[in-house]
Amino acid sequence: MNADGRTRLNETPEWTALARHREELGDVRLRELFAADPGRGSGYTMRVGDLYVDYSKQLVTDETLRLLRELAARADVFGLRDAMFRGERINTTEDRAVLHTALRSSRDAVVEVDGENVVPGVHAVLDKMADFAERVRSGEWTGHTGKRIRNVVNVGIGGSDLGPAMAYEALRAYTDRDLTVRFVSNVDGADLHEAVRDLDAAETLFVIASKTFTTIETITNATSARDWLLTELKAGQDAVAKHFVALSTNAGKVSEFGIDTANMFEFWDWVGGRYSFDSAIGLSLMVAVGPERFREMLEGFRLVDEHFRTAPAEANVPLLLGLLGVWYGNFFGAQSHAVLPYSHYLSKFTAYLQQLDMESNGKSVDRDGNPVDWQTGPVVWGTPGTNGQHAYYQLIHQGTKLIPADFIGFAEPVADLQPGLVAQHDLLMANFFAQTQALAFGKTAEEVRAEGAPEELVPHKTFRGNRPTTTILARALTPSVLGQLIALYEHKVFVQGAIWNIDSFDQWGVELGKVLAKRVEPALTEGAEVPGLDASTKALVAAYRELRGR
């Protein structure tokens, strides 16, 4: 019981019932569950939009799912969901509404924040972005010297980088191949150096993406980018106007930096950084794929938003995915969750999800500030198949850790590949299906013996199986499908945060490092005495200065 008299999550009857159920299931085998229910393979599936979601290879029964849904009802997941969609200030520690869903609402929708409909503003910015994107794509927008823009460099970090960078890779097949689009995020000067070293400054547009316009990495890189541009062009400050645009909520800081606010694309404090990708933060992507494709992507987001908002609990896919994560994290002790896309174009998808999930649900106090004594967000990791198969899948198959995984695959390749490469797609997908099969059903000692393996190798070649996976399958990785996938994970993260009773929309944990970096920097550069520096950091700073010859 909390001090305020409210029952804690892990003392609710719903939690206790799940713990009991987990014990009763014991070492339940997926082989047994499939043997007992021949319809399981097609029955334990759901559809949302273009996504076919198979959860038959999860260690769950109808009873498990029923009990998990009861936990969701107890936590009032749908109540909080409705409050989010209504624009209530559910980000309580920052006293903000959480309205990324308004970014993809239709023109005629009404979503109010403090009595004001925000939808017209959202569409005004989307229209301004579309106009700008078309001008760059058509060559109408030229640089300071009159040359057409051929290179776009997005400078941002975290939510102001990962979304557009991920989506640019994901939708590469839809991009204007005559444009070079790059993403600079790291304050390590090497990042900017490598991004611009072979570019003609006269043809380069910098898109400075920062919600706050105070993030040190972004402002430092933006300043260096401006220096590079002006040096290369041998031009004065007036050249900035045609080569720099800003994506931000902070007009004051944007103009302080020297960017004309006419070239600023705004968004609002009710858009969290890691949820900002379909706001103005998507501008680089829109330039790359064009406004129409961008809108198709937003429609994909909207489709899943509507599903999450209206589908009953039994058929609600984000709810299901969220609950499965709770099942393994809280009742099996799983510490991590792998997301394994079988699409080269989704090479940055899991990195994007890392911020979405881990910055949202990496919390250890509840919404009222009480320490939680249940596990919250998992470590999210993974890389595209089949590469991972030849690296870390061994541990997923035969290691001592339980690692639930999502497999994401597509029936068709996207790009205009040569016929020979198109044929490779079946091999890719054969691996996709084979892996989830092997993970679920393993290989028994009898099967190994039947293959003639010498007795001493039998334990090594036996696969226990029972490694749970969800399979998400779609026809092709279109802009809409990408939007659907991202919205699916956004809402899954929401469901988990709601159940764990944490604020999924703040990120106080990243602040401490920022503050300390500012304090330590003078010690590195000037050898300044930093009060309160611990002995270890002091010695490291001294070693660093010696190595740098200072």
Per CB under 6 A, residues contacting ligand F6P are 157-160, 210-212, 215, 218, 273-274, 359, 507, 510
344 is catalytic: no
Rounded to whole angstroms, the Cα distance separating 367 from 381 reads 26
Task: Check: CB of residue 91 under 8 Å from CB of residue 505.
Answer: yes
Q: Cβ of residue 213: shortest distance to ligand F6P, in angstroms?
A: 7
Please choose, from the candidates 123, 164, 160, 179, the residue with its C-alpha nearest in 3D space to the C-alpha of residue 285: 164
Residue 77's identity, in one-letter code, is: V
Q: Find the shortest distance in angstroms from Cβ 161 to ligand F6P.
A: 8
Whether 292 is catalytic? no
Helix, strand, coil shares, percent, the chain, to 5 = 55, 10, 35
For residue 485, give the nearest of 263, 273, 249, 317 by alpha carbon: 317
Find the shortest distance in angstroms from Cβ 183 to ligand F6P.
Answer: 13
Which of 193, 401, 514, 538 is flagged as catalytic? 514
- Of the candidates 329, 436, 439, the one whose C-alpha atom is nearest the C-alpha of residue 375 is 329
Q: Using an 8 Å Cβ cutoff, are 377 and 362 in contact? A: yes
Evaluated on CA atoms 464, 470, 474, 479, the torsion sign reads: negative
DSSP at 355 = I
How many Cα atoms occupy the beta-carbon half-sphere of 88 within 13 Å? Answer: 9
Q: How far apart are CA 72 and CA 80, in angstroms?
A: 11
Q: Which two tokens stand for residue 354?
A: 């890392």
The nearest distance, CB 490 to ligand F6P, in angstroms, is 14
CB-closest chain residue to ligand F6P: 273
Report helix, strand or coil for 469.
strand
What is the 3-state secondary structure of 381-446?
Answer: ECCCCCHHHHCCHHHHHHCCCCCCEEEEEECCCCCCCCHHHHHHHHHHHHHHHHHHHHHHHCECHH
Q: 209 pairs with which residues across the strands?
A: 247
The residue among 275 and 301 lying less far from ligand F6P, judged by its C-beta, is: 275
- 23, 234, 390, 455: the catalytic one is 390
- Which tokens go with 423? 């044929």
Angle formed at CA 309 by CA 303 and CA 312, multiple of 5 degrees: 110
Least separation in angstroms between residue 50's CB and ligand F6P is 28
Integer Cα distance of 509 and 145 in angstroms: 45
Smallest separation, CB 219 to ligand F6P (Å)? 8
Which residues, other chains included, contact 64 with Cβ-Cβ below 8 Å and sequence gap of 6+? 18, 21, 25, 327
Judge contact between 374 and 9, C-beta under 8 A.
yes
Q: How far are the Cα atoms of 221, 339, 368 from residue 188, in angstroms, in the given order?
A: 9, 28, 38
The encoded tokens of residue 326 equal: 């709770």
DSSP 377: P
Q: Tokens 């006419």 correspond to what residue?
A: 262
- Whole-angstrom Cα distance, residue 97 to residue 84? 7
* 3-state SS, residue 323: helix
- CB of 336: closest distance to ligand F6P in angstroms? 21
What is Dmax (Cα atoms) for the chain? 78
Active-site residue, 211 included: no
Residue 248 Cβ vs ligand F6P, minimum distance, rounded to whole Å: 8
- Rounded to 5°, the CA angle 88-90-94 comes to 115
Catalytic residue selected from 14, 169, 203, 359:
359
From the CB of 279, what's the least distance to ligand F6P, in Å? Answer: 11
- Could you tell me the smallest distance in angstroms from the CB atom of residue 508 to ligand F6P? 10
Known catalytic residues are 359, 390, 514
